[in-house]
Structure 1
Amino acid sequence: MSLVDHAIWWQVYPLGALGAPVLEREEGVHHRLERLEPWLDYVVELGCSGVLLGPIFASTAHGYDTVDHDRIDPRLGDDADFDRLVAACHDRGLALMLDGVFNHVGAEHPLVAADSPLLKHDGDALAVWEGHDGLVELDHARPEVADLVVDIMLRWLRRGIAGWRLDVAYAVPPAFWREVTGRVKAEFPDAVFLGEVIHGDYAAIAREGDLDSITAYELWKGIWSSIKEANFWELAHALARHDEFSASVVLNTFVGNHDVDRIASLVGEERAPLAAAVLFTVPGMPSVYYGDEQGFTGVRGDGFHADFPVRPPLPASPADLLPTGAWLHDVYAQLIGLRRRHPWLTRARVEVLDKTNESISYRAAAGEESLEVHLTLEPDPGVSVVCSDGETWSWTRP
């Protein structure tokens, strides 16, 4: 069985979570990766089965401007720190997925200094991604770029990771991904490839690129927007689209990540359990963005510090978390437990049974297994889940 069929990820942005400076230069090696280890038992107790780790390779600033894919960012540590983290994850039965930026490199990458033919050009100038001068695009039409990416992927898979999140996968030709994943899977047939895609035909992109999963941004938008605006007609539409895509690809479902406003800020802490309930009762491979299960808040801003509010540092250990988030953590743990007891949900089909502005009912089913979910916003936010095996779960705002 593929990892896609049962994984529940805890996604963490390490530079922010571990308190590394993002915009200021820092000399020497700082062993911050070891600060993640106290959180691994927390991840297991929450019920997750893997850690989806944001950028850890040497970069200039935020991690998505890579300058060396072969070296751990010295703000996070070194090879020994990484190997200890892999071992600590494996000791607890946790898979580890890395974030690979293969659409572009940072402007300080040696390829840029050498004006390498592996870089894409726009006329006489180097092509940059979406107008960001610090991000120079690779030329994916060149076979040497595929060789480079395959080499990087294999090197870290041999060191114990389970797969790759492919940053801005939508900007890379699907044929490139198909070639790369095919070559990598020749040695690691169980490796998982998760493509970041915002818009488009998720199923077609996955099929053409031979990707195992695609980020479910359409569903994410439908979840938070319908709860915030009391318009479950939008969620009904998103669920219909989600069902269509899920017929052929397992989507990565989420209600938060490093690029979006925190779910508790979008819908309010008292309604966050409704978003979590959808996350864990529909088809897909769920991921939890660190702190969402504690009710962390944060709204993206403007300028160089725009992402800081949604990428905050973690306390030194789970024991240092504020007690105010414990109730939401319990809700997440219960829902994750329900999800793990019903792994068939990953590849289920979903249909909406009823909807109004303030409530929605839907059914997820696979073979003889099924569950029905009812969400309501008025008079108080509430969730009820009834499973075909007799298990039930409910929550109402105290």
Structure 2
Amino acid sequence: MRFDVPEIEATPADAWWSEAVVYQIYPRSFADSNADGIGDLQGIIERLDYLAQLGVDVLWLSPVYPSPHDDNGYDISDYQDIDPLFGTLADFDRLLAAVHERGMKLVMDLVVNHTSDEHPWFTASRDEGPQGSKRDWYIWRPAREGMEPGTPGAEPNNWGSFFSGPTWTYDEKSGEYYLHLFSRKQPDLNWENPTVRQAVHAMMRWWLDRGVDGFRMDVVNLISKTPGLPDGIVHEGALHGDGSPHYICGPRIHEYLAEMHREVFEDHPRRLLTVGEMPGVTVEEAKLFTDPSRRELDMVFQFEHVGLDQGPGGKFDVRPLKLTDLKASLGRWQTGLGETGWNSLYWNNHDQPRAVSRFGDDSPAYRDRSAKLLATVLHLHRGTPYVYQGEELAMANTRFTSIDDFRDIESLNYHREQTAHGVDEEQVLAGLRHRSRDNARTPMQWDTSQHAGFTAGTPWIAVNPDHTRTNAKAQLADPDSVFHYYRRLIALRHTEPALTHGDFQMLHPDHEQLYAFTRHDAASGTELLVLANFGPADLTVDLPDGWEHSETLIANVPATTPLSAPHTLRPWEARVHRRNA
């Protein structure tokens, strides 16, 4: 079985992001400058030299807009300002200038599937009633025919929310329900209304005129819904219907994104970065979204590989990951977007648990080594790598003892709904400990002080107690640290053409412990071999012909012997070799 990416220049000549590495900042948890326990823009400014030393090219900020923070800022009440928790527009301008001074770019989080229910657009839509000028800016529907409005089962359809419960909330004043795929405080915008789209485009242009370098677009493939909003299938054991076939990559999604590109990006004097977060997107759809000739997006975030360790009960139904499934998934995406399109590469982000706890081994013996292995495998694939804050330090999942330790609305709602339906609380907590988004949101670990150097106050969520072992200060001083290994990997992205332009061939796809592949760049005649032992035992592997005594480009443990056939990889060992083909 082979995964082959044809040797082809599949990105436009001005696609600077094909050689870049993006670093995601979750501002609430990155660095607090004023001791209120919440990270802020000034805190980011004070840590920019750390990011410049790491060598990343782009900073992606999770939302810093005004918000009631029902979903930690992904419920926006004003698209054209900064929340006082994080600072001011003047602070943002200083941050942007400081980023650009260091040769980096800054990408904003664009959240336009929904707003906050405190956004003036929604308050007008709700308070002015069915005849109001902004009623059609959101998705309102009457109760099911023959049902009493506001009673159980009277919702316009049976869809379940991503955050538990139905996707509809009843508004007594106007006598109708509004749609929210997420929290009830996150009503969905009606993208069928051209005035809504024009308002979004104008807001995007406002930020670009301010100097930002692009957008990461939150759940952007959910903005088009099937007309009529039909019921979803109710799967066994589910409390609500699965409406996803009616809003994932809906009927007008390509039209909307092409229009956005035309209205916002096409004639802009700077080459900007656009990446769409797309739960449920297929390889076939992603090829369309990222085909440069279609002028929609530069790349997408897909979720296939982060769903492989989930059981039929969903994300909190934890199952062991099979490496063969991971290789099949990532290999399929390498192949699928090889001739046309571009991959985004990530292990974790603000919505995913920590990679070293999920895909690696966070025990003291192998934590750093497995973190380096994961970085090696990811950064040697074809696409643009994304590093989530603290990943470069091997930050791990934290210790949640009770539901009182959690802050995330998804986790809290899931716990409430499941325990109300009789599910054992310890079973619910076990799933949350593994998969809660709060694992990614504990404060950045800067040093060994009480709150890890994140704040002089009381942090909004507890610091991981392991910060006394894993922190930036210690790793900056250690040339063999995970931080400095990431720095070397990122430098390779900038200097090794085979990483950007080379083809991809998976080796040993059916092996349960070995992740191996090659990258080959015909223009430079360079070929790379990547070997990674996903496990705590020695592994003897066969090599492709001609790789004996090849140059070691990078490795996560010191080489004791030259590469030979067969070759033994130590536990969680990863190595990259280079030769001229």
Give the TM-score band, short-chain normalised.
0.7 to 0.9
Q: Tell me which of 139, 143, 148 is aligned to 1:120.
A: 139
Q: Computing the radius of gyration over CA atoms, which structure comes out larger, 1 or 2?
A: 2
Deviations 1:158-217 (A, max 9, x none): 111110000001202231111012211222451211000122222233346711110143
Task: Tell me how far apart the structure 1 counterparts of residues 32 and 41 of structure 2 sit (CA, whole Å).
Answer: 10
1:256 equivalenced with 2:351 (yes/no): no
The amino acid across from 2:274 in the alignment is F
SS of the residue 1:361 aligns to:
strand
Deviations 1:299-329 (A, max 9, x none): 6962069533321223578995756352221
> Cα 1:307–1:392, aligned 2, differ >3 Å: closer, same or farther?
closer
1:175 equivalenced with 2:255 (yes/no): yes
Task: Tell me how far apart the structure 2 counterparts of residues 164 and 125 of structure 1 sit (CA, whole Å).
Answer: 34
Tell me what 1:76 maps to.
86
99-108 vs 300-309, greater mean Cα deviation: 300-309
Tell me what 1:314 maps to.
444
> Cα 1:58–1:317, aligned 2, differ >3 Å: closer, same or farther?
farther
> Cα 1:223–1:134, aligned 2, differ >3 Å: closer, same or farther?
closer
Written as runs of structure 1 = structure 2, the 5 A alignment for 1:186-201 is 186-188=267-269, 190-201=271-282
The amino acid across from 1:364 in the alignment is R
The amino acid across from 1:283 in the alignment is R
Tell me what 1:150 maps to.
201
Task: Tell me how far apart the structure 1 counterparts of residues 106 and 122 of structure 2 sit (CA, whole Å).
Answer: 30
The amino acid across from 1:238 in the alignment is S
SS of the residue 1:175 aligns to:
helix
Equivalent residues of 1:6, 1:340 under 8 A apart: yes
Tell me by how many angstroms 1:239 deviates.
3.0
SS of the residue 1:331 aligns to:
helix
> Cα 1:84–1:236, aligned 2, differ >3 Å: closer, same or farther?
same
Tell me what 1:375 maps to.
532
Task: Using structure 2 for the length normalisation, give the TM-score.
Answer: 0.61
Q: Tell me which of 553, 556, 560 is aligned to 1:395.
A: 556
> Cα 1:345–1:316, aligned 2, differ >3 Å: closer, same or farther?
closer
Tell me what 2:290 maps to.
206
Deviations 1:326-381 (A, max 9, x none): 22212212222222222542344321122411112211223233311011135259
Deviations 1:29-62 (A, max 9, x none): x993111012211111112111111001111101
Equivalent residues of 2:67, 2:116 under 8 A apart: yes
Q: Tell me which of 370, 389, 392 is aligned to 1:290.
A: 389
Aligned residues: 388
Identity of aligned residues (%): 25
Task: Tell me how far apart the structure 1 counterparts of residues 540 and 24 of structure 2 sit (CA, whole Å).
Answer: 26
The amino acid across from 2:356 in the alignment is A
Equivalent residues of 1:198, 1:217 under 8 A apart: yes
1:56 equivalenced with 2:64 (yes/no): yes
The amino acid across from 2:300 in the alignment is I
> Cα 1:215–1:288, aligned 2, differ >3 Å: closer, same or farther?
same
SS of the residue 2:280 aligns to:
coil
350-359 vs 317-326, greater mean Cα deviation: 317-326
Equivalent residues of 2:24, 2:388 under 8 A apart: yes
Unaligned 5+ runs, structure 1: none
Tell me by how many angstroms 1:63 deviates.
0.8
Written as runs of structure 1 = structure 2, the 5 A alignment for 1:1-398 is 1-18=14-31, 32-61=40-69, 62-115=72-125, 116=134, 117-123=136-142, 125-172=176-223, 173-185=253-265, 186-188=267-269, 190-201=271-282, 202-207=286-291, 210-220=296-306, 231-247=322-338, 248-266=340-358, 267-269=360-362, 270=366, 271-298=370-397, 302-303=411-412, 307-314=437-444, 320=453, 322=468, 324-325=470-471, 326=475, 327-355=481-509, 356-367=511-522, 368-376=525-533, 377-380=535-538, 390=551, 392-396=553-557
Task: Tell me how far apart the structure 1 counterparts of residues 205 and 438 of structure 2 sit (CA, whole Å).
Answer: 32
The amino acid across from 2:54 in the alignment is L
Task: Tell me how far apart the structure 2 counterparts of residues 181 and 70 of structure 1 sit (CA, whole Å).
Answer: 20
Which aligned runs of 4 or more in structure 1 are off by greater than 4 angstroms?
219-225, 315-323, 380-384, 388-391
SS of the residue 1:260 aligns to:
coil
> Cα 1:324–1:71, aligned 2, differ >3 Å: closer, same or farther?
closer
Task: Tell me how far apart the structure 2 counterparts of residues 263 and 153 of structure 1 sit (CA, whole Å).
Answer: 32
Task: Using structure 1 for the length normalisation, give the TM-score.
Answer: 0.87
Equivalent residues of 1:362, 1:374 under 8 A apart: yes
Equivalent residues of 2:29, 2:39 under 8 A apart: no
Tell me by how many angstroms 1:132 deviates.
2.1
Deviations 1:76-95 (A, max 9, x none): 01111000000100110010
Task: Tell me how far apart the structure 2 counterparts of residues 47 and 127 of structure 1 sit (CA, whole Å).
Answer: 45
Instruction: Say which structure is richer in helix.
Output: 1
SS of the residue 1:73 aligns to:
coil
The amino acid across from 2:327 in the alignment is A
Tell me by how many angstroms 1:122 deviates.
3.2
The amino acid across from 2:494 in the alignment is R
Task: Tell me how far apart the structure 1 counterparts of residues 495 and 540 of structure 2 sit (CA, whole Å).
Answer: 22
Task: Tell me how far apart the structure 2 counterparts of residues 203 and 53 of structure 1 sit (CA, whole Å).
Answer: 26
The amino acid across from 2:18 in the alignment is D
Equivalent residues of 1:58, 1:71 under 8 A apart: yes
The amino acid across from 2:87 in the alignment is G
The amino acid across from 2:21 in the alignment is I
SS of the residue 1:164 aligns to:
strand
The amino acid across from 1:213 in the alignment is M
SS of the residue 1:205 aligns to:
helix
SS of the residue 2:512 aligns to:
coil
Deviations 1:11-32 (A, max 9, x none): 01112324599xxxx9xxx993
Equivalent residues of 2:278, 2:303 under 8 A apart: yes
Equivalent residues of 2:28, 2:39 under 8 A apart: no
Equivalent residues of 1:219, 1:253 under 8 A apart: no
Tell me by how many angstroms 1:296 deviates.
1.3
Equivalent residues of 1:246, 1:284 under 8 A apart: no
Task: Tell me how far apart the structure 2 counterparts of residues 19 and 316 of structure 1 sit (CA, whole Å).
Answer: 11
Unaligned 5+ runs, structure 2: 1-13, 126-133, 143-174, 224-252, 312-318, 401-405, 414-431, 454-466, 476-480, 558-571, 574-581
169-178 vs 150-159, greater mean Cα deviation: 169-178
Task: Tell me how far apart the structure 2 counterparts of residues 256 and 277 of structure 1 sit (CA, whole Å).
Answer: 15
Equivalent residues of 1:274, 1:382 under 8 A apart: no
SS of the residue 2:94 aligns to:
helix
Equivalent residues of 1:5, 1:343 under 8 A apart: no
> Cα 1:343–1:82, aligned 2, differ >3 Å: closer, same or farther?
farther
Task: Tell me how far apart the structure 2 counterparts of residues 160 and 312 of structure 1 sit (CA, whole Å).
Answer: 30
